[in-house]
């Protein structure tokens, strides 16, 4: 049994779509919370939208206690890797305990980051996942601009959140140089938007060389 936390996925607010605190049994952050989370958040929809598969390298931003991270770790195993970031070291300790219990601690690296920094290496990641975290950023666009170089060529960014955050999230991603490539609206009250780095528009053709006059 894992030790109890006030909120299972996120200390700041309820993690599920229904706005309920997880684990109504009061038994703590155990199997009941995972089942409740899975029912409300439908992690498989996010996994499929991002095209996660064994061998992929994923950054799970604001991973919290790891209720979603565990699905990401399973999807990229064998051969893949997950960097799970959070500004809160205590939730990452809990995430580590969860990964150990599930046998994914060799797949997932927890990383404490400052609020304005993605903390990711350049050109390392097939996917960056922001699940119910972008609304915490002081400046979504600035954060996303810093994160973009961490994607490998063709890598994807997914923003998953409650529907009332959608407009601000999509606008910020586009302002940061991403283009929306697919969107899933299968989860009640939530959206999953998947982006790629937009190709820079081709440079305009050079002006014709001035014709040399005849002598
Ligand atoms: C609502 S929880 C979401 C947890 C998990 N991603 C999920 O979908 O259930 C938000 C988490 O984001 C973290 N967080 C907030 N601001 C952050 C930032 N700027 N960078 C990284 N993590 C952040 C919080 O500490 C918290 O653990």
Please tell me the predicted confidence (pLDDT) of residue 23. Answer: 40
- What the block records as the tokens of 62 is 């604001």
Q: Which of 125, 113, 108, 49 is nearest to 86 (CA)?
A: 113
Please tell me the predicted confidence (pLDDT) of residue 15. Answer: 42
Kindly give the number of the ligand 1 atom that is closest to the alpha carbon of 86: 22
Which option is the CATH number for 31-197: 3.40.50.150, 2.60.40.10, 3.30.750.200, 3.30.70.20?
3.40.50.150
Of all residues in the chain, what percent carry a pLDDT higher than 90? 76
- What the block records as the tokens of 18 is 């229904």
If one residue of 62, 82, 129, 144 were mutated to test the ligand 1 pocket, choosing by the most ligand atoms within 8 A of its CB, it would be 62
User: Ligand 1 within 6 A of 88 CB?
Assistant: yes
The domains of the chain are located at 31-197
Contact 154, 171 (CB under 8 A): no
Answer yes or no: is pLDDT of 63 > 50.
Answer: yes
Report the first-to-last Cα separation within the chain, whole angstroms.
93
Mean pLDDT is lowest, of 13-27, 101-115, 153-167, for: 13-27
Q: Name the closest-CA residue to atom 12, ligand 1.
A: 62
Please tell me the predicted confidence (pLDDT) of residue 18. Answer: 34
Answer yes or no: is pLDDT of 152 > 50.
Answer: yes
How far is it, in rounded angstroms, from Cα 194 to Cα 127? 10
Answer yes or no: is pLDDT of 21 > 70.
Answer: no
User: Ligand 1 within 6 A of 67 CB?
Assistant: yes
């Amino acid at each position: 049994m894992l030790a109890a936390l006030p909120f299972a996925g996120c200390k700041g607010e309820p993690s599920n779509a229904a706005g309920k605190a997880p684990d109504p049994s009061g038994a703590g952050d155990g199997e009941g919370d995972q089942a409740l989370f899975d029912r409300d958040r439908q992690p498989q929809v996010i996994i499929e939208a991002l095209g996660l598969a064994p061998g992929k390298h994923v950054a799970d931003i604001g991973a919290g206690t790891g209720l979603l991270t565990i699905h990401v770790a399973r999807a990229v195993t064998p051969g893949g890797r997950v960097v799970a970031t959070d500004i809160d070291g205590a939730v990452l300790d809990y995430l580590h305990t969860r990964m150990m219990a599930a046998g994914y601690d060799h797949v997932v690296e927890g990383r404490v980051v400052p609020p304005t920094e993605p903390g990711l290496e350049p050109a390392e990641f097939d996917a960056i996942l922001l699940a119910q975290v972008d609304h915490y950023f002081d400046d979504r666009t600035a954060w996303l601009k810093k994160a973009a170089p961490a994607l490998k060529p063709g890598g994807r960014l997914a923003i998953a959140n409650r529907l009332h955050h959608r407009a601000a999230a999509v606008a910020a991603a586009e302002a940061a140089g991403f283009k929306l490539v697919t969107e899933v609206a299968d989860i009640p009250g939530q959206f999953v938007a998947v982006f790629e780095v937009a190709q820079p528009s081709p440079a305009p053709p050079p002006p014709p060389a001035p014709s040399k006059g005849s002598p």
